[in-house]
Structure 1
Amino acid sequence: MTAGPELIAIPGPSPLPARVLNAAHRASPDIYGEDLPRVNLAVMDQLKRLAGTSAHLAPYIGNGHAGWEATTANLLDRGDAVLVLTSGHFGRSWADVVAAQGVAVERLDFGNAPPDPARLADRLARDRAGAIRAVMVCQTDTASGTLADIPAIRAAMGDHPALLVVDAIASLGCAPMRMDDWGVDVLIAASQKGLMALPGTAFVWFSDRAAARGPTGLTSPWWDWHQRAGADALWRFWGGTPPVQQIFALSEALSMILDEEGLERVWDRHARLARATWAAVDAWGGHGIALSVGDPAARAPSVTAVTLRGADRLRAWTARECGVTLGVGLGAASPADALRIAHMGHCNAGTLMGTLGAMQAGLIALRIPHGPGGLEAAAAAIAA
């Protein structure tokens, strides 16, 4: 049953629209001409609209980890203290990357639950000297499927001088983000998830307050975000030869998001697809099947983490028999009994129902105990 289009339901790289692939499928123009720089500038403007900001923007050739390192290299110096709020595997990995660059990292860990603003406020209240230079948090932890309440975190920081740094790699283009209105100082994202583009580019938006922090002893010419954000030539945006095909792909993808569907409609679509996914898992629930995040308000609209006995067997079956690829149980206590269902970027009710239908077929075929009516519950959620 695998002939036909493959369904990729992993939380990045996410499926690419044919239009985006077609936009990238072209020879490079003269990078010293006028056309490509004009498209590049338009993409920078689109990215600011996407993030809800008029702040500075530095693009990098790299993935989300490159965005992490770029932020550290521009904001912090060896020995500086930061507080990282962790709610899953990726928050912990980010803390490790920052620590490996010589920064003094303190982790405020919340297991696989979203950060508690009250705990953050209490910790910052005890930092009377203002030694903590930044508070760092993933809006969505891609492994646990949690959604952090960024406005509440900003409010909990009060008048503490720390900068608020947000990883929106798995949330931008899927969940609301209003960088300026919410008081975010640094925002990090990448091209391969909600932006519906090829992997390989990362973006860091930074406020005037953040810009005033650097350069530091960690700021090399490659990482220096001032050279990129204030670029007067195409190559300076990218630290050398630009990723030509990616620029055209991003232009097409961002036009689809911002100008055709509309950003608030995009957010609403992701929220509705997430609710349909949760409805299916709840119906299958019991029997060792459960959503990893109990509170619906704390669940990400882009990816759903599930505990499910025999998850690895189910993942193998859906890929082999149906052509549907599910996400691994990254960071779970028992990875073999956990999986993730992505509903991010280029997806709709049809692709989601196909993914859930393959899962239900696998549960039946493998005789994995589950409750009835998963597809009906998802369909009812979509119909509502």
Structure 2
Amino acid sequence: MPTQNPVFIPGPTNIPDRLRKACDMATIDHRSPDFRAIFEPAIAGVKKVLGTRTGEIILFPATGTGGWEAAISNTLSPGETVLAARHGMFSHRWIDMCTRHGLDMQVIEAPWGAGVPVAAYAEALTADTGHRIKAVLVTHNETATGVRSDIAAVRRALDAAKHPALLLVDGVSSIGSMPFEMDAWGVDIAIAGSQKGFMLPAGLSILGISQKAIAAMEAAKLPRTFFDFRDMLASYKTGGYPYTPPVGLINGLATSVEMLMEEGLDNVYARHARIAEGVRRAVAAWGLKPCAQSPDLYSETVTAIVVPQGFNGTDIVTHAARTYQVAFGVGLGQVAGKVFRIGHLGMLTDVLMLSGIATAEMAMADLGLPVKLGSGVAAAQDFYRSNGGAARVAAE
């Protein structure tokens, strides 16, 4: 029988029953007022989650990778220069996409486990007095290494250099789970996906687009048809789509943002931070360390855990899946085999997270890692009791 165990991967995340039911709906005419009644609340809610009043929201039937392609193809032309850093699998994949599109990539290499190298960005932008660089790419939350980067600092570097380049941000595994301030950080395109903080099935690429990015559309010469912002925005004026939309997912999105607002975004972010810290307390109790180089880089949605020499992180993930029917994340790219990942985003609670920590302990102990059963669970319990459940009981 199918397992009822939650998953502990950094996406797709567990789907609340309320959202499953919202996506499971009868067919409606997507050119009717009934669709507009679903679509408009979804757009308005996403604006709040992204932290934008002035930007436009576009929803493509795609994933975060489609959002990357839409971002570059609508704002850039072949041969134009793009500044990016490679410090994890997903920053690497965006760079690879840009290269395949014929863009001239100025890549800053950084260690996997480091954040975006803001000082190197600042140096490159200051040196670019001719403004050859047309866009700057940043991965806000690198799920391969469990690293969060400082988007506001990149904006400060752009402003200090008085550089007009667009700021394009991959927020797929952060938006809806960690604070994101599109307007305040001067983000020109923010990219999210339905399957992460929005707790939905994969299938929606969610983009926030600044007026500056919209102004760049007409000059952009990279080919786009399915991902053309112009077609989407023109259709949105009448509450429709230029092609058939995924109505069930959009209905789910409207419900998802309703749920996020009911909990309160500050409470959503605090819950993710609390659950993540409990995981990190467990990791420390096991005698292990996160892949992220320093605490200021710790992600609130995923922790990549470095395994001791002589062990393989992929074996832990495989064993947990086969023996306990629980999913964790494998290491990717340069950290393949060197880490395993615990995702802690979406609909998770302290109690659900404790089950994941306990399962990780069992899998590691089964494979002979020097981990004492109960040590990580106890460390997380102590933290959650002091910062979660105990506080709620006192308040009641």
TM-score interval w.r.t. the shorter chain? over 0.9
Letter in 1 for 2:115: P
2:29 and 2:121 map into 1 onto residues whose CA distance is 50
Aligned residue number for residue 89 of structure 1: 89
Instruction: Summarize the alignment of residues 289-300 of structure 1 with structure 2, pairs less than 5 Å apart.
Output: 289-300=288-299
Asked if structure 2 preserves the Cα contact closer than 8 Å seen for 1:85 and 1:135, the reply is no
Equivalent position SS for 2:279: helix
List per-residue Cα deviations over 1:163-212 (Å, max 9, x = no partner).
11110001001111010011111111111111111100102211111111
Instruction: Summarize the alignment of residues 158-307 of structure 1 with structure 2, pairs less than 5 Å apart.
Output: 158=160, 159-215=162-218, 216-230=220-234, 231-236=236-241, 239-258=242-261, 260-285=262-287, 289-307=288-306
1:312 and 1:146 map into 2 onto residues whose CA distance is 20
Letter in 2 for 1:31: H
How much has 1:96 moved relative to structure 2? Answer: 0.5
Equivalent position SS for 1:115: coil
Aligned residue number for residue 130 of structure 2: 129
Instruction: Summarize the alignment of residues 43-122 of structure 1 with structure 2, pairs less than 5 Å apart.
Output: 43-54=42-53, 55-112=55-112, 113-122=114-123
Letter in 2 for 1:378: A
- Give the total of aligned pairs: 376
Letter in 2 for 1:108: I
Asked if structure 2 preserves the Cα contact closer than 8 Å seen for 1:144 and 1:331, the reply is no
Letter in 2 for 1:35: D
1:297 and 1:191 map into 2 onto residues whose CA distance is 27
Letter in 2 for 1:14: T
Q: Does 1:155 align with 2:159?
A: no
RMSD, matched Cα:
1.6
1:294 and 1:221 map into 2 onto residues whose CA distance is 41
2:342 and 2:357 map into 1 onto residues whose CA distance is 9
Letter in 2 for 1:84: A
Q: Which moved more, 1:372-381 or 1:95-104?
A: 372-381
Q: Give the structure-2-normalised TM-score.
A: 0.91
Letter in 2 for 1:105: M
Aligned residue number for residue 393 of structure 2: none
How much has 1:219 moved relative to structure 2? Answer: 4.2
Q: Does 1:17 align with 2:20?
A: no
Letter in 2 for 1:383: R
How much has 1:3 moved relative to structure 2? Answer: 8.1
Asked if structure 2 preserves the Cα contact closer than 8 Å seen for 1:64 and 1:189, the reply is yes
Q: Which moved more, 1:305-314 or 1:142-151?
A: 305-314
Moved >4 Å (runs of 4+): none
2:22 and 2:65 map into 1 onto residues whose CA distance is 26
1:131 and 1:183 map into 2 onto residues whose CA distance is 20
Asked if structure 2 preserves the Cα contact closer than 8 Å seen for 1:86 and 1:138, the reply is no
Letter in 2 for 1:153: V
Equivalent position SS for 1:28: coil
How much has 1:371 moved relative to structure 2? Answer: 5.5
Asked if structure 2 preserves the Cα contact closer than 8 Å seen for 1:332 and 1:338, the reply is no
